[in-house]
Amino acid sequence: MNSSIQRMIKNTPLHIKRTLNYFLQLFNGSHTQSANEYTLVFNSSLGNGKIILNALNWGVYVFRLDIFTNCSLAFNECSLEHDALELLFISNGTIDYTRDNLAPMHLESYSNILSSTKSGLKRSLQFQANKNVSFTYTYIPCKDFFISENLMGNAQNYKEFYDLLNTADRASFMHVGPYSLKIENQIKKLNKTWNNPAITRLYFEGQFYLLLALQLSEYKDSMAKNHPFSRSEIKKVQHAVDFINTHISSPLSIPLLCQHVGLTQTKLQAGFQSVFSKTVNEYMRHVRLENAHTLIATTDLSISEIVYRVGLNSKSYFSKIFKEHYGVLPTEFRAYRKTTSTLK
């Protein structure tokens, strides 16, 4: 790495507040706090972007970074005094990852790492200049986390996982999983916020546990060598998802999607079943219903206008599938929303 543009950041602290203060000084940004979520927004000579840290119970925290770098950056850090489980998922960009006792690795988008650490273990994350990079890092102190789960009667759920982390050579355990679109879509759910900070925190914790479950499930599948998709195919499935979400108000068809992303219908359907447990048409209907639900709740558009906005052309069909999904007709849902809004 070119030393003239490199910024070496040594012994980066991992504690939430110290980490936040460190990045505040490094990037010269502004920060906000809501409950146990800390957000740093910056635009400096080093780059621009956003860093979010969420502190959960039992010492667990989630670190989300989305930045554009103006120069090469290297974050060199030592772990805390606690034995810990670390999970790293790269949503966009590339990272060069090195660790004391392992060979350097070049990680690309959708890469998924599960590793354990011991006190004093050194790691380095290196980012290339003039690139976007987004990743999610999760830190779980083993002792506190598993004791807490045992107290709540959940120890059996984590027994296999706990046994894995208590191997004799924990400092060298690292699993680099296959590219995972399913984990990427779960990570996106962490970004949803609500008007009530307490609700946002509960929602985040729920989605975090789902993310943890997915990453552990991916580990087990990987050990069984169950990898049905290549990295390029995963990217194409994600492109299909993005295309649907962006063009949901337009007429969409499976042949159109296949032509747009360059996958066969069989592979596209298999990708959606793997990620969403839905066919392509079921996923499109799900997106249309969610969008319609939001429009009914937040706008004064007529039901007919909403039907058009979500890419359907039959009001009666829309009412039918809306009731099947939500248990009420669109008009009943709107009337209920208006009543509760008036009561407030």
Q: Is 181 left (phi over 0), alpha (psi -120 to 50) or beta?
A: alpha
Give the closest residue to 124 by CA, choosing from 11, 6, 4: 11
The more confidently predicted of residues 138 and 17 is 138
Cα separation of 41 and 56, whole Å?
A: 21
Domains 7-223 and 231-343 in one fold: no
Residue 330 reports pLDDT greater than 80: yes
Superfamily for domain range 231-343: Homeodomain-like (1.10.10.60)
Most confident of 72-81, 90-99, 224-233, 313-322: 313-322
DSSP letter for 157, please: G
Q: What is the mean pLDDT of residues 245-259?
A: 91
- pLDDT for the residue 233: 83
The CATH fold of domain 7-223: Jelly Rolls (2.60.120)
pLDDT digits (tens, 9 = 90+) for 257-309: 999 999 888 889 988 887 788 899 999 999 999 999 999 988 989 999 999 99
Most confident of 58-67, 78-87, 214-223, 334-343: 58-67
Query: Given this model, what pLDDT does residue 281 score?
Result: 93
**Pairing outcome for strands 73-78 and 7-9:** parallel
Q: Where are the domains of the chain?
A: 7-223, 231-343
